[in-house]
């Protein structure tokens, strides 16, 4: 079973104050890059894996999806999603992505945002998602970039001139990483970029596009704190097709 850190009260309290949870998709700087990879949504049956508060699930319906299934391990997340959704075509369910079973050809689009780095057995999940999609369907997701999460102690290092450097070590040593983020001992699973892409290829997906998200000049002008994201990639965004 995946670690259910989101139901930890301290973690949930801090997480709920993030701009992307307060402002929704407008507070997620990578959202335009993700959205650009989406196919036309009209009439599609979509699944949102690790749906959180349901921001993307609601967007998918508002942009033409016929039905949306949002799944998340966190009871607290699902409760919030249900509270803020009044659309009967969106179904939210509690499910562990490590063990989830999905019906064959049940969906025409699959999406996930910043969830799969919590999953130990990504091979199994990728095969399950492939099985659940109809032929030609798209699978788009974001994860923490392997460069961002590889280090034993990920944090900025400043030199005598104040120049920031992000450490990269143990990159080729894949596996569990533990960090303190809103709560102690948050478990993540580091995989090299090649590993992530090869998992998709073995599962039967065709890689269509990859983006190592970096903020635009306009985004930085609106939020100067985003300039740090030019120093190292924080997110990997992938579009694939069954």
Neighbours of 202 (CB within 10 A): 12
- Residue 43 backbone zone (phi > 0: left; psi -120 to 50: alpha; other: beta): left
Q: Which residue is associated with the tokens 């970029």? A: 193
Given phi > 0 = left and psi -120 to 50 = alpha, else beta, which region is 182? left
CB atoms within 10 A of CB 199: 19
The predicted-structure confidence for 58-79, as pLDDT tens digits, reads as follows 999 999 999 999 999 999 989 9
pLDDT digits (tens, 9 = 90+) for 69-105: 999 999 998 999 999 999 999 999 999 999 999 999 9
Lowest mean pLDDT among 143-147, 174-178, 195-199, 201-205: 174-178
* High-pLDDT (> 90) share of the chain, %: 75
At 17 the pLDDT is 72
**Average pLDDT of span 11-30:** 77
Helix runs in 49-192, H state only: 55-62, 75-83, 122-132, 146-149
Q: Could you read off the pLDDT of 201-223 as tens digits, one per residue?
A: 999 999 999 999 999 999 999 99
pLDDT for the residue 24: 79
Q: What is the token pair recorded at 88?
A: 């009967």
| Beta strand pairing call for 206-212 and 175-179 | unpaired
Distance from the Cα of residue 28 to its chain's centroid? 11
Interval 12-30 mean pLDDT? 77
pLDDT band per the 50, 70, 90 thresholds, residue 155: confident
Average pLDDT over residues 6-33: 77
């Amino acid at each position: 079973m995946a670690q259910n850190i989101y139901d930890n009260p301290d973690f949930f309290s801090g997480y709920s104050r993030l701009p992307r949870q307060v402002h929704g998709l407008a507070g997620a700087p990578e959202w335009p890059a993700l959205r650009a990879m989406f196919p036309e949504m009209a009439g599609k049956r979509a699944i949102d894996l690790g749906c959180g508060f349901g921001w993307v699930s609601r967007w998918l319906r508002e942009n033409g999806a016929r039905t949306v299934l949002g799944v998340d391990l966190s009871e607290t997340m699902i409760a919030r999603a249900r509270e803020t959704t009044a659309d009967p075509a969106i179904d939210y369910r509690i499910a562990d992505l490590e063990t989830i079973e999905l019906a064959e050809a049940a969906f025409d689009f699959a999406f996930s945002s910043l969830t799969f780095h919590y999953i130990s057995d990504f091979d199994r999940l990728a095969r399950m998602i492939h099985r659940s999609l109809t032929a030609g369907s798209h699978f788009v997701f974001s994860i923490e970039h392997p460069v961002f999460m590889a280090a034993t102690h990920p944090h900025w290092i400043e030199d005598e001139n104040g120049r920031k450097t992000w450490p990269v070590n143990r990159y080729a040593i894949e596996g569990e990483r533990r960090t303190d983020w809103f709560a102690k001992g948050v478990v993540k699973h580091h995989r090299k970029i090649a590993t992530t892409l090869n998992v998709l290829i073995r599962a039967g997906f065709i890689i269509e596009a990859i983006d190592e998200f970096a903020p635009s000049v306009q985004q930085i002008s609106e939020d100067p704190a985003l300039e740090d994201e030019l120093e190292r990639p924080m997110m990997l965004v992938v579009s694939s097709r069954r």
